[in-house]
Amino acid sequence: MKYPYKLLILAIFIEQAFLGDAFATPKKWSTAYSNNFNQYEIDDDEPEGLLILDGDFSVAENNGNKYLNLAGEPLENFGFLFGPRIPGNLAIQCRFLSKKKGRRMPTFSIGMGGVTGFRLKVNPAYRKLQLLREDTIITEGPFKWQSGEWLTLRLQRQYLGDGKKWRISAKVWHGKDEPDTWNILHESDAKESAGKCSAWAAPYSSSAICFDDLKILSNLLPPHQSRL
């Protein structure tokens, strides 16, 4: 019997809860959503599957690679929502590219659980990597951004023990090689937020910002349902 996608996710989570392993050590992550923008036309300013909240976004291409481009002005924070709502253990990531101008630098963020959920922010001007919730900094650590190089952000939440707490993990890296270690590890008993995942950036350097390779991963998905 086939189930609609949302009902399938809920059914799997309930089944695991009754079997006693919903909060166990996560199994292999499966891709629930991915987007490299290759399916869109250049200059498309309303890509299907994304909810643009604000900002001058459009699909662009460079050396055969398509991406979502945010214009370098105005100098404010802009973002969009993407992917399905998925309960329980969840991981998201996105790649960003931009340049500094003098001492002015952009910022980059990804978030899960809507506006009340956790958000990972790279703040190059302060050389900080920050974990936020509802715009409040929960914890932060040092990070040096490299202008003009692709940067990947990954944010992950996992239930601990009996499911009363989360482990929030975050890492960032330049280039293609993902590091084994996490930049930020944080435990929280905050209630799970049900909103969508999001990506944000602020072009404070007046340089355009590129978004690419959006991913949402879950360990509640069976292999044959791992891609939308």
Domains and CATH numbers, the chain: 5-225 (2.60.120.560)
Q: What is the pLDDT along the chain (228 residues), one digit of tens a residue?
A: 334 445 545 544 444 444 334 444 446 889 999 999 999 999 999 898 899 998 999 999 999 999 999 999 999 999 999 999 988 899 999 999 999 999 999 999 999 998 889 999 999 999 999 999 988 999 999 999 999 999 999 999 998 877 788 999 999 999 999 999 999 999 999 888 778 999 999 999 999 999 999 999 998 654 433 333
| The two three-digit tokens of residue 172, written as one number | 């960032």
Q: Which amino acid, one-letter code, is at 13?
A: F
Q: Which residues contact 165 (CB under 8 A, 6 or more apart)?
A: 159, 187, 188, 189
Closest of 155, 177, 181 to residue 168, by C-alpha: 155
- The Cα–Cα gap between 146 and 127 comes to 10
Q: Which amino acid, one-letter code, is at 72?
A: G
Rounded to two decimals, the pTM is 0.85
